[in-house]
Structure 1
Amino acid sequence: MKRAFILSLVATLGAVCVPVQAQEEAANEGAAQPGVKPVRLVSFDGEREFLKSASRLRVWRSEVEYTLEVDSSGTPTDCQLAEEFRMNYVNDKLCEVLMKHHTFEPAQDASGAPVEGSYEGRLNFLEIRQKD
């Protein structure tokens, strides 16, 4: 009887606390950057090189998702793969290609001044191959 009551109490608290926490996080994210214009991709001209590098590195995924940090001049400064590979060398080489071949307009604050920002992208190997 006590065990059933405790399990019921834990389930109820979990159902109440998780949505409240998610709402608070969403409210904090929205309030953090009002009036900010996000980073805008100008071009990415490295699809073939990315495909070649991935083939040499024996990447067997159908797509790669990534985030690039962009400085106030529009230059990528850091790269993070959404699902990293076990070998850091593979992550580094793929990020090297991504950072070299992206061109951006930097993010802008409410006054229009360039600021740091980030860009999230995804490359699908089948889509790249179909372009040829």
Structure 2
Amino acid sequence: MKHLRLTAAVLLALGCAGSALAQDNQGDGTARSKVKPARLVSFDGEREFLTASSRLRVWRAEVGYTLSVDQAGTPTDCQLTEKFRMNYVNEKLCEVLLKHHTFEPAQDASGASVEGTYQGRLNFLELRGKD
């Protein structure tokens, strides 16, 4: 009898999980689920980023960042994923990132341009390998 209850509980749990997954696949109805994110067209600041990092004595293997992108595809704000202790370092690296990224703007469900974000990572070994 215990095995029947356990089997019934497992089947019920699996049924509920399947139902939840089906609802997630339909989209959650929020604006975010209907937005096509900003698409990177180019980043041409490898050399300048390496130079600035060297001057600022950045000793990390990678730098992660999030850029806000306006309706025209222009980056407007930058946040480093793991900030440095000195705000000056964060600001100088973000200046390079903002200056050298080009995007296609995010689009809503109707295809109209909207504000969006872009997340990226720069790996110093890969950047140095391009030189």
Per the shorter chain, which TM-score range? 0.7 to 0.9
Q: Deviations over 1:42-81 (max 9, x none)?
A: 0000011000000000000011000000000101010000
* Structure 1 match to 2:129: 130
Unaligned runs of 5+ in 2: 1-19
So what's the TM-score if we normalise by structure 1? Answer: 0.76
Please give the residue correspondences for 1:21-60 in structure 2 after superposition, counting only pairs within 5 Å.
Answer: 31=28, 32=30, 33-60=32-59
Partner of 2:94: 95
2:105 paired residue number: 106
CA distance in 1 between partners of 2:82 and 2:64 (Å): 7
Structure 2 counterpart SS, 1:73 = coil
User: 1:18 matched to which residue of 2?
Assistant: none
State the identity as a percent: 76
Deviation, 1:109, is 0.3
The alignment of Structure 1 onto Structure 2 pairs a total of residues equal to: 105
Q: Secondary structure in 2 aligned to 1:119?
A: strand
2:53 is paired with a residue of what secondary structure?
A: helix
Kindly provide the amino acid, as one letter, of the partner of residue 51 in structure 2: K
Per the alignment, residue 65 of structure 2 pairs with 66
Task: Return the offset for 1:34.
Answer: 3.0
Cα distance in 2, alignment partners of residues 34 and 128 from structure 1? 33
Amino acid at match of 1:60: W
1:68 match: secondary structure: strand
The code of the aligned residue for 1:78 comes to: D
For the residue of structure 1 that corresponds to 2:89, the secondary structure is helix
Larger radius of gyration: 2
Query: After TM superposition, which residue ranges in structure 1, 4 or more long, deviate above 3 angstroms?
Result: none
Instruction: List gaps (5 residues or longer) in structure 1.
Output: 1-22
